[in-house]
Amino acid sequence: MVVGVIKTVILGAGGMLGTDLCKIFPDAAKLKHNDLDITKREKVIECIRRIKPDVVINAAAYTDVDGCEGNQELVFDVNGYGPGYLAEACSNASAVLVHFSTDYVFDGSKKEYLEADTTNPVNAYGRSKLLGEQKIAENMDDYRIIRTSWLFGANGINFVDTMLKLSEEMETVKVVNDQFGKPTYTLDLAHKTAEIIGIEPGIYHLSNEGVCSWYEFASAIIDNTIPCTSNEFPRKAKRPTYSALVNTKTSPMRHWKEALNDYLKENKA
């Protein structure tokens, strides 16, 4: 990487995390889906060759977990092969690639997951994201793969906003109390991403601290929620029961409750 001004490209700049990354990296080239489709190998390679960045941050993905089940060809292209093309392009350009993956690469049988733990996704989304990780590692060395979980942020459809809306519309809101993870504020994650670029390559687990169920998360947002089981809410895609990411490599992020309070103050006051 050059010393001095670091030239950065953000992909998926129109998404929930991408929008917050754009705030933290204001000088970056910001590419939305319309600007570059990461499933187009030649275009990806040409784009990175032309811009000659030092760092590429990829927040582009197909993220509808249930939608992935019926759309697997597209999903594997976007979440699996696309990141591989980016890695190829970054390797050619000697750029660092920062890519986001998910707690859903794990099956939930172990509860807490360290960076080196064995992956075993239980749904198409998780399998496609795992393929993305593998394609990156096949194509380059200087990558940072950031696995994160349960994102909420100002620029996307997220659980916090959904709860606020349902709370107004319904007398009580039933939320599952048997799936556990770590809610994470996209603005916190975007800040932390800046730190990860400067340290050694590899896989990182970055979430706000604190494990909770979706019901416990909901209870911190609204007053009229009641717990239920996943059996009462059948979904197309199976979810891991317990997929808390443990960060053993960098300083911990703050607790999700503190992050949630700031999110609500900044966006919902």
Ligand X SMILES: NC(=O)c1ccc[n+]([C@@H]2O[C@H](COP(=O)([O-])OP(=O)(O)OC[C@H]3O[C@@H](n4cnc5c(N)ncnc54)[C@H](OP(=O)(O)O)[C@@H]3O)[C@@H](O)[C@H]2O)c1
Which of the residues are catalytic? 125
Burial class from Cβ neighbours inside 10 Å (0-12, 13-18, 19+) for residue 116 reads: exposed
Asked if 67 touches ligand X (CB under 6 A), the answer is: no
Q: Which of 102, 123, 225, 247 binds ligand X (CB under 6 A)?
A: 102
Q: How would DSSP label each residue in 108-174?
A: SSSEEE-TTSPP--SSHHHHHHHHHHHHHHHH-SSEEEEEE-SEE-TTS--HHHHHHHHHHH-S-EE
Site stretch for ligand X (CB under 6 A), options 60-68, 88-96, 229-237, 250-258:
60-68
Among 22, 48, 56, 61, binds ligand X (CB under 6 A): 61
By CB under 6 A, residue 12 contacts ligand X: yes
The residue count for binding ligand X (CB under 6 A) is 25
- DSSP strand E in the chain: where? 8-11, 29-31, 55-58, 96-102, 111-113, 143-148, 151-152, 173-176, 180-181, 184-185, 202-205, 212-213, 225-228, 243-245
Tokens of 51: 């811009």
Count of C-beta atoms within a 10 Å radius of residue 115 = 15
Residue 172 or 208 with smaller CB distance to ligand X: 208
Place of tokens 């959904």: 162
**How many CB atoms sit inside 10 A of residue 233's CB?**
12
Q: How far is the CB of 73 from ligand X (least distance, A)?
A: 12
Task: Compare residues 78 and 95 and give the one whose CB is closer to ligand X.
Answer: 78
Minimum distance from residue 212 beta carbon to ligand X (Å): 14
Among positions 6, 7, 24, 37, the unique one binding ligand X when judged by CB under 6 A: 37
Q: According to CB under 6 A, which one of 10, 38, 89, 97 is a site residue for ligand X?
A: 38
| Residue 149 in the binding site for ligand X (CB under 6 A) | yes
Chain residue whose CB lies nearest ligand X: 15
Of residues 233, 245, 241, the one with CA closest to residue 66: 233
Listed ranges 9-17, 191-199, 229-237, 249-257: which one lies at the site for ligand X (CB under 6 A): 9-17
Cβ proximity to ligand X, 95 vs 239, nearer residue: 239
Q: Does residue 151 belong to the site contacting ligand X (CB under 6 A)? A: yes
As measured in angstroms, the least distance from the Cβ of 238 to ligand X is 16
Q: Which is nearer to ligand X, 3 or 50 (CB)?
A: 50
Q: Residue 150 and residue 214: Cα distance in Å, rounded? A: 9
Q: Helix (H, G, I), strand (E, B), or coil: what is residue 23?
A: helix
CA distance 83 to 143: 11
Out of 63, 123, 179, 225, the residue judged to bind ligand X by CB under 6 A: 63
Contacts to ligand X by CB under 6 A = 12, 14-18, 33, 37-39, 59-63, 78, 82, 100, 102, 129, 148-151, 156
